Amino acid sequence: MHVFAVEFEKSGKRLYVGASYSTFWKTYQRMKLRSQPLHFYEVIREGNSGKLYYDVEFSKDVNAERDGEKMVDDLLLETQRLLVHLFPSMMRGVDLNFRTILELDSSTGKKFSRHLILPQVNFRSNEEAGVFVKELCRRCMESQKEFIRVVDTSGESETTFVDQAVYTKNRCFRLLGSSKYGRSTPLVFTERSPYAHRLDEQVFLKSLVCNVSPLEPCLSIDDLPRSKAGSRMATRTLAVNGQHGSRGPSPYPHVDAIIEKLISLPNHKGYVRNWVFYGSNMTIMYNIAGRYRFCENVQRHHRSNNVYLIADLVEGEIRQYCYDPDCRGFRSSPWIIPGDTADDGSIPDELLNTVDVDI
């Protein structure tokens, strides 16, 4: 049984269904033949092995001079180099280029957007694939690889054209042939792909990230010697495999920025002493130090006891908790994490555990 999602509202609301690959394909094909709208996603279950994939995009308006296809080619080359460096016995001889991968396009006049799926490269889990991708992007940025740098949609700052936030647990990844609800740009093979204009069962199954045979070897960052992975990569591995604390930025800098704004009052300025990331339920606890000790329970700043904030990345909210014994068990009303910050494509395990609907 595999889990898929179908988007049925412009707000992004989705229904989750369970089906075998063959059953799902028959339904999917029937809907396509009837010209019914396809807004389906593959749910990449937490802990499941899967193919390495990339979601790459940039705004054409503020990156008019960039050549998206050349950037994809350079990304594949750097991916191949790092894979061979980290996993020489398993990856030597691998050939990554637009002919050997699945390159899907949903670009518009305003945005370059592609999904890259690498059938030759399997990771033990989506989280570990994310660690690899973040390390690749870090190395490329630090070595001044120009291909990976783009101007963000605001036109004011630089970022990578690789979306590094798509490797969360239970990720929804859009299917070949599907478009987002309310839009008319489905994911299709690029014209240079050997699979151009195809949507048959064979290539559809090949495009599924989680369709990995149990007999196929999977890469695992946990198996790397620390000397080869590097201390930063080893630290990131700890963060996705369990809980991890740090005094630096968390894996979610956009949430860090919200926390910093909340605790930066003119006369009661605080700072994040450290944070703890709990991968099992996708929450981050921020321990606050400094003069910010505001507690909603007493409607004032505590004189000596500190407070802490917990960001729930699934619910999209932040709540205040307190170390004062008199406030034990109290949690504040929520601050909503605005916009797309909380909508990272994840769904809670509780929902997945109740879904068992054949389509």
* Residue 353 pLDDT class (50, 70, 90 cuts): very low
Token pair recorded at residue 24: 């799902």
How many other β-carbons are positioned within 10 Å of the β-carbon of residue 32?
Answer: 15
Query: What whole-number distance in Å separates Cα of residue 167 and Cα of residue 123?
Result: 12
Residues 120 and 215 in one domain: yes
Residues 188 and 289 in one domain: no
Regarding predicted confidence, which is higher, 228 or 194?
194
Q: Calculate mean pLDDT across residues 345-349.
A: 44
Please give the mean pLDDT across all residues of the chain.
85
How many other β-carbons are positioned within 10 Å of the β-carbon of residue 67?
Answer: 12
Q: Calculate mean pLDDT across residues 254-280.
A: 87
Among 2-16, 62-76, 116-130, 296-310, name the one with the lowest average pLDDT. 2-16
Give pLDDT tens digits for 161-186: 999 989 988 899 999 999 999 998 99
Residues 316 and 220 in one domain: no
CB proximity list for 92: less than 8 A, separation 6 or greater: 84
Torsion of CA 254, 46, 42, 204, to 10 degrees: 120
pLDDT of 354 over the 60 cut: no
Token pair recorded at residue 195: 């699979």
Residues 302 and 218 in one domain: no
Regarding predicted confidence, which is higher, 67 or 244?
67
The tally of domains found in the chain comes to 2
Query: What whole-number distance in Å separates Cα of residue 20 and Cα of residue 22?
Result: 5
pLDDT of 346 over the 90 cut: no
* Residue 237 pLDDT class (50, 70, 90 cuts): very low
C-alpha distances in Å from residue 192, one per residue of 69, 115, 216: 10, 14, 28
Among 129, 159, 133, 149, which residue's Cα sits nearest to residue 79?
133
* Residue 259 pLDDT class (50, 70, 90 cuts): very high
**Degrees, nearest 5: CA angle 33-177-184:** 95
Structural domain includes residue 156: yes
Using an 8 Å Cβ cutoff, are 221 and 167 in contact?
Answer: no
Residues 211 and 292 in one domain: no
pLDDT of 279 over the 90 cut: no
Residues 262 and 309 in one domain: yes
| Helix (H/G/I), strand (E/B), else coil: 295 | strand
Q: Calculate mean pLDDT across residues 127-139.
A: 93
pTM for the structure as a whole? 0.67
Residues 140 and 65 in one domain: yes
Regarding predicted confidence, which is higher, 310 or 228?
310
pLDDT of 34 over the 60 cut: yes
Residues 273 and 313 in one domain: yes
Residues 113 and 255 in one domain: no
Structural domain includes residue 8: no
| DSSP result, 318-349 | EEEEE-SGGGTT--PPPEEPPTTSS-SS---H
C-alpha distances in Å from residue 58, one per residue of 27, 114, 140, 181, 338: 33, 10, 17, 20, 22
E runs forming strands in 8-85: 14-19, 40-44, 50-59
Structural domain of 189: 46-169+183-199+206-241
Residues 101 and 237 in one domain: yes
Burial of 95-112, coded b for 16+ CB within 10 Å and e otherwise, reads ebebeebbbbbbeeeebb
Residues 73 and 187 in one domain: yes
Residues 117 and 214 in one domain: yes
* Residue 64 pLDDT class (50, 70, 90 cuts): very high
